[in-house]
Amino acid sequence: MIIDPSKPAASAAAPADAIKDGDTRSFTDDVIKASMTVPVVVDFWAPWCGPCKTLTPLIEKLVKQAGGKVRLVKIDIDRNQDLAAQLRIQSVPTVYAFVGGRPVDAFVGAQPESKVRAFIQQLTQSVDSPADDALQAAQDALAAGDNAAAVDWFAQALKGDPRHPKALAGMVRARLGLGDTKAARAVVKGLPSDLLKDPEIVSAIAAIELVETSRQSAGDVADLRRRVEAAPDDRQLRFDLGTALFARGLTEAAIDEFLELVRVDRTWNDEAARKQLLRIFDAIGLAHPFTVSARRRLSSVLFS
């Protein structure tokens, strides 16, 4: 089925390395091996090729819209003449599709967007994507609060695509949900700079930092509970109790304290309680049941 090109379907963001320049030396890794887990489109082009200047940006756009279900490797035949000869490239642009380590489809010359879209869509629909299935299962488990199951599913998704931002960010949140900050930090340690700029990863790192900061400043929960009971109007004490609860992994109880603080004095300390709630929502994920429930309660408090 060909989707109306004027109405592209919404999709997840493509991984940071979904589009790259390739060469003879990297061809085995970038195309042959990579296509064992995700279809790879190879665009053979040349600087002097007029149609290439139109086709290549079109393919890039459609690959981005595919949301990580297909990758693009661009190869300049002038710089990689031996590779072009091995693959019998007679003219440019020539576009190959690789799946399972071998070419499965191709076309030569400039094509209208509808045909290029159909070419790429056929790849994404005809190939089983266990990584996508695992990612969906992981996100469902995370949303249900089953962090242990989410870790297992995210691990499977990352086997299919070790650099998938959503899977990496989800693994961070699942590890944090299990109280393992060290393991969460290890997920993002050593990631390349381009991936560290991805919004999903930026948000996940912020979640780690929130948990670490909370633990550093957290007091004893039992002591803080006693002090809050003795002085229920002390805003700072209640804020400290919420921080301590979150640091101990008692997220729902922490949310309750911050919501109560917003209810009694929403403007206290430059709306510190509301801002902390938003950080917690981002840390545990916007689809988490605690977030969904708390956001409704927060809206009720703010607009009552």
Question: What fold characterizes domain 218-302?
Answer: 1.25.40
Could you confirm whether 48 is annotated as catalytic?
no
* Neighbouring residues of 266: CB distance < 8 A, sequence distance ≥ 6: 273, 274, 301, 302
Q: What is the pLDDT along the chain (304 residues), one digit of tens a residue?
A: 233 333 343 445 566 679 999 999 999 999 998 888 889 999 999 999 999 999 999 999 999 988 888 999 999 999 999 999 999 999 999 999 998 888 989 999 999 999 999 899 888 875 555 677 788 889 888 888 889 999 999 998 898 778 888 899 999 999 988 889 999 999 999 898 888 888 889 889 988 999 898 888 778 899 999 999 999 999 999 999 999 998 887 889 999 999 999 999 999 999 999 999 999 988 887 777 888 899 999 999 988 7
Could you confirm whether 98 is annotated as catalytic?
no
d(CA 252, CA 290): 6
d(CA 303, CA 301): 6
pLDDT at 265: 96
User: Any idea which architecture 130-216 has in CATH?
Assistant: Alpha Horseshoe (1.25)
Nearest CA to 52 among 106, 91, 5, 97? 91
Nearest CA to 247 among 150, 179, 197, 146? 179
- Sign, CA torsion 80/84/85/89: negative
- Note the pTM of the prediction, 2 decimals: 0.53
Question: What tokens appear for 43 in the block?
Answer: 């665009």
The three-class DSSP label of residue 99 is: strand
Q: Which of 41, 52, 62, 95 is catalytic?
A: 52
Segments in 127-198 forming alpha helices (H): 130-143, 147-160, 165-177, 181-188, 193-196
d(CA 257, CA 244): 11
Q: Which of 49, 84, 184, 284 is catalytic?
A: 49
Please list the residue range(s) of the chain that carry CATH number 3.40.30.10: 19-126
Burial 107-145 (b: 16+ CB within 10 A, else e): eeebbeeeebbbbbbbbbeebebebbebbebbbebbbee
Please list the residue range(s) of the chain that carry CATH number 1.25.40.10: 130-216, 218-302
Question: What fold characterizes domain 19-126?
Answer: Glutaredoxin (3.40.30)
